[in-house]
Amino acid sequence: MLIKKVFGKFSNKFLVYGLGQAFNLVTPVLIAPYLIYVCNLDGFGKIGIAFSFALFFILIVDYGFDIKGIKKISESRNNPEQLEHELVSTLYTKFFLFIISATIAAVCVFLFPYFHNEIKLFSFSLMIVFAQVFNPVWFLQGLENFYISSVVNACSKVIYVILIFATIKVVDDYIYVNLFLGLSSLIVNIVGLIFIFRKNNFKLLPVDFNLIFETLKNDSSLCISQLFLSIRQLSPLFIVGYFFGFTLAGQYKIVDQVISLYRTFSQVFLKFFYPQLCFRLIENKQEAITYWKRYVAVLFSGVFFSALILFFFSQNVLFFFRVEVNVMEHLQRTFQMALIIPIAMVFSLSLEQLMFGFHNNKIYFKITIFVTIFNLVTILLFSKFFDLSGVIVSVFLSEVVFVYLYYQTVFQKDSKQ
């Protein structure tokens, strides 16, 4: 009954959207055992760290367009000229940001031995960042065109999987894994953009540098907050790799693979409802909150019961990832402990939606910086005494702090007004 109330007439759209996003969820899990088998835990750890390196710069390129952009497109869906303006100006802005990102990345790769020792791996990983410039999914989701966005996701991941199994054959091939992910995304993203331009008769408008700089200025706080979120999410793997080596980083990457799976699932689930939430908040705030509570309840149920299943079958999961027997017992305890994090993320990510829906961007900025610093300090402190278990505890505590501060901002502040 609850599921019917949540999805209603959107059930077909959600099915299509879910099938497309399933490729994003399944692909990393599908190729991980193969990469561990071919490249060993050491190579798998390096791949994960380089991927995290690319994700940090992706957030610079995205500059919050996957949040505010979806909202703007949703609100402008009946205005073709405004849609064209938003899409083209965003493409120009993202390309400009890529140049900045690539410059910063090049400096890091050439100046710091940690990156320079794997110069090809980190340089090739920037292809993922370049592909993000042309990613049309945010635009399609704003229009609730989940069919085409699903096709884009599915095609890029299918090409990626084919490239991995066809070309990654020896240990040293780990340097090409992220390059193939970027190439597959770039090809499909460009094809998707061509489809959008032809279907809507859009044209590449002249570059307006004043508009680009104005956008950068207006959305700077959102971008910085997203960068701090990125630091919080990616720093555990970097810290483990730097202090404990790539092999232990590979072990943590296995645990993080499952956490990331839940994070991605929760994010794509919530993004499906975000355009409608924004639209309903304009018309009736109380009904919008009720709508929000319903789909969050569905998400919580799915995450909680699936995490419970993984807890009891944790050894089977780790065998799937080709974990060796000599590290199984220790990693199993860490893995089971980590399954509490996805449950906390349901509430932090869903409350984050309301933060943006209620335009609490300035407070969100402050909360993000505070929690990121808190997370970094506790990771460094806890990992010194409890290694991977300490990292898990730190990540969980940061999610709890997020939930508390978001809730206080959204509901307590609103009740006082």
Q: Write phi, then psi, for 170 (nearest 5 degrees).
A: -130, 170
Mean pLDDT of 340-364: 86
Collapsing DSSP states into helix, strand and coil, what is residue 359? Answer: coil
User: Over 70: is that where the pLDDT of 315 sits?
Assistant: yes
The DSSP code for 207 is: P
Comparing C-alpha atoms, which of 24, 321, 266 is closest to residue 160? 24
pTM above 0.75, yes or no: no
Span 103-129, pLDDT tens digits: 999 998 888 888 888 899 999 999 999
How does residue 146 score in pLDDT terms, banded at 50, 70 and 90? confident
pLDDT band of residue 84 (cuts 50, 70, 90) is: confident
Q: Which amino acid is at 84?
A: E
Cα 29 to its chain centre, rounded Å, is 15
Closest C-alpha among 304, 396, 282 to residue 348: 396
What is the spatial distance between Cα 287 and Cα 271, in angstroms, rounded to a whole number? 18
Domain residue limits, the chain:
10-15+25-218, 255-411
Task: Assess contact for 27 and 160: CB atoms under 8 A.
Answer: yes
Closest listed residue to residue 32, CA positions, set 170, 177, 152 = 177
What distance in Å separates the CA atoms of residue 215 and residue 92, rounded to the nearest whole number? Answer: 11
CA 379 – CA 272 distance, rounded (Å):
33
Task: pLDDT band for 18, please (50, 70, 90 cuts).
Answer: low
Q: Average of pLDDT values for 184-198?
A: 92
pLDDT band for position 413 (50/70/90)? low
Answer whether residue 210 shows pLDDT above 80. no
